[in-house]
């Protein structure tokens, strides 16, 4: 009997359809991040998620639907991150810099997965990355009021994110500790330069 909303595949029922959907998206994002777009086939995603291919297709009817799911997840996570940055007692710029290092969070994984899709010439993924960057830039610009300084801050943030997400093998406990200290220094420097450029 074919899978329908009234009769889903057995592997999509336990514990809940939404958790199965999330598990499939998690598996797709992991495969994209670790092996790239070509390796993230429907069969590979189903195996990594621990579901049948029929179970995967019940939730995502095609690879394009999987991609749309990852991009939607990214947009939602970025929106939450933007609100957290804006509300931070430390200030938006300091919070952005301090949270730029990849820690393996859901947002980090969504960004890496989307980057892999963009590298595979997916224009929708490139647009999603641009939208995320624009959202963060707008917060920085609101805080500094200085477009040039805001772009410099974004480049620093991007560099921290890229180095920690795509070059994790270069990180050791010792360098991670130094990096934490370096971030403190970066925040202090940015705060100082912002004050100087604003005339305070």
pLDDT tens for residues 147-171? 999 999 999 999 888 877 766 555 5
When divided into structural domains, the chain yields a total of 2
pLDDT at 177: 52
Residue 66 lies in a domain: no
Positions of the chain with pLDDT under 70: 1-18, 166-179, 199-200
> Pick from 30, 138, 152, 156: which is nearest to 99 by CA?
156
pLDDT at 172: 54
Supply 6's token pair. Answer: 């009234």
How many other CB atoms are there within 10 angstroms of residue 4's CB atom? Answer: 9
pLDDT at 5: 41
Whether residues 40 and 129 share a domain: the answer is no
**Which DSSP string corresponds to 170-193?**
G--HHHHHHHHHHHHHHHHHHHHH
What is the model's pTM? 0.80
How far apart, in whole angstroms, are the C-alpha atoms of residue 166 and residue 109? 11
Whether residues 47 and 95 share a domain: the answer is no
User: Which residues, in sequence order, are CB contacts of 118 under 8 Å at separation 6+?
Assistant: 125, 126, 129
pLDDT at 131: 97
Residue 48 lies in a domain: yes
Whether residues 53 and 115 share a domain: the answer is no
Residue 17 lies in a domain: yes
pLDDT at 15: 40
pLDDT at 14: 40
Whether residues 52 and 107 share a domain: the answer is no
How far apart, in whole angstroms, are the C-alpha atoms of residue 111 and residue 128? 9
Residue 92 lies in a domain: yes
Single residue among 61, 80, 109 that ends a domain in this structure = 61
CB-based contact 97:159 (threshold 8 Å): no
pLDDT at 163: 78
| Backbone Cα Rg of the chain | 20
Whether residues 162 and 94 share a domain: the answer is yes
The residues with which 4 forms a beta bridge, in sequence order, are 7
Whether residues 79 and 134 share a domain: the answer is yes
CB-based contact 154:140 (threshold 8 Å): yes
Whether residues 56 and 109 share a domain: the answer is no
Supply 69's token pair. Answer: 């799911």
Residue 40 lies in a domain: yes
Domain enclosing residue 140, as ranges = 71-197
> Pick from 189, 82, 93, 95: which is nearest to 150 by CA?
93
pLDDT at 168: 56
Whether residues 129 and 182 share a domain: the answer is yes
Residue 14 lies in a domain: yes
pLDDT at 11: 40
State the first-to-last Cα distance of the chain, in angstroms, to the nearest integer. Answer: 71
Whether residues 93 and 156 share a domain: the answer is yes
């Amino acid at each position: 009997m074919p899978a329908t909303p009234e009769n889903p595949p057995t592997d999509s029922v336990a514990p809940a359809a939404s958790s199965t959907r999330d598990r499939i998206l998690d598996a797709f994002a992991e495969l994209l991040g670790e092996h790239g777009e070509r390796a993230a086939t429907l069969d590979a995603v189903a195996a990594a998620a621990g579901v049948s291919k029929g179970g995967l297709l019940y939730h995502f009817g095609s690879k394009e639907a999987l991609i749309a799911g990852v991009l939607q997840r990214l947009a939602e996570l970025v929106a939450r991150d933007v609100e957290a940055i804006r509300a931070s007692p430390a200030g938006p710029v300091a919070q952005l810099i301090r949270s730029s290092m990849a820690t393996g969070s859901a947002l980090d994984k969504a960004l890496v997965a989307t980057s892999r899709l963009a590298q595979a010439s997916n224009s929708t993924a490139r647009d999603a990355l641009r939208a995320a960057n624009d959202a963060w830039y707008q917060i920085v610009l609101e805080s500094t009021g200085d477009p040039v300084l805001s772009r410099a801050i974004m480049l620093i943030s991007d560099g921290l994110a890229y180095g920690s997400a795509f070059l994790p093998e270069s990180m050791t406990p010792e360098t991670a500790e130094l990096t934490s200290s370096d971030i403190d220094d970066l925040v202090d420097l940015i705060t100082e330069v912002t004050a100087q450029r604003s005339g305070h």
